[in-house]
Amino acid sequence: MLKDRDIQATIPVKSLTAARKFYEQTLGLEPVASDGENVVTYRTGNSRLIVYRSEYAGTNEATAATWIVGDDIDDVVKKLRGKGVSFEHYDMPGTKREGDVHVMGEMRNAWFKDPDGNILSIVSGRMAESHARR
């Protein structure tokens, strides 16, 4: 029923103004639609990211959205750090860290938070390729 349908990430935020500053100025996303007060939609690659106002913003303690950046992960981490992004560090079995990047075999992943505490990540393309073969 859904296997051939596109999916989009949906992230709740408390302040759409603060969120727009982060997603547009820090992450470099461009809005494709907005109602001006409650929701903004961004195009990111071939996907969509919806950011909307919610009283429940920042309550998820798991990753909300992941960008597949391939071998550019170190460069993306450096650019985001240069824009003031702080990266999260997690202790996970079988994982080592190279700076802000967690290394799990061939997969390389880095996590950071938006202004509301939503956990976002960037990952090397090898993860997507290995999962796509399953």
9-132 carries CATH number 3.10.20.440: no
- 39-68 burial string, b = 16+ CB within 10 Å, else e? bbbbebeeebbebbbbeebbeeeeebbbbb
- Assess contact for 38 and 53: CB atoms under 8 A: yes
Q: Does 89 score more than 80 pLDDT?
A: yes
Residue 42 and residue 45: Cα distance in Å, rounded?
10
* pLDDT tens per residue, range 68-77: 999 999 999 9
Task: Give me the chain's average pLDDT, please.
Answer: 91
The DSSP secondary-structure symbol of 70 reads G
Q: Considering only CA atoms, which of 94, 92, 95, 85 is closest in space to residue 119?
A: 85
Contact at 8 Å (CB) between 110 and 73?
yes
pLDDT by residue (tens digit) across 3-25? 887 789 999 999 999 999 999 99
Output the pLDDT for position 90: 94
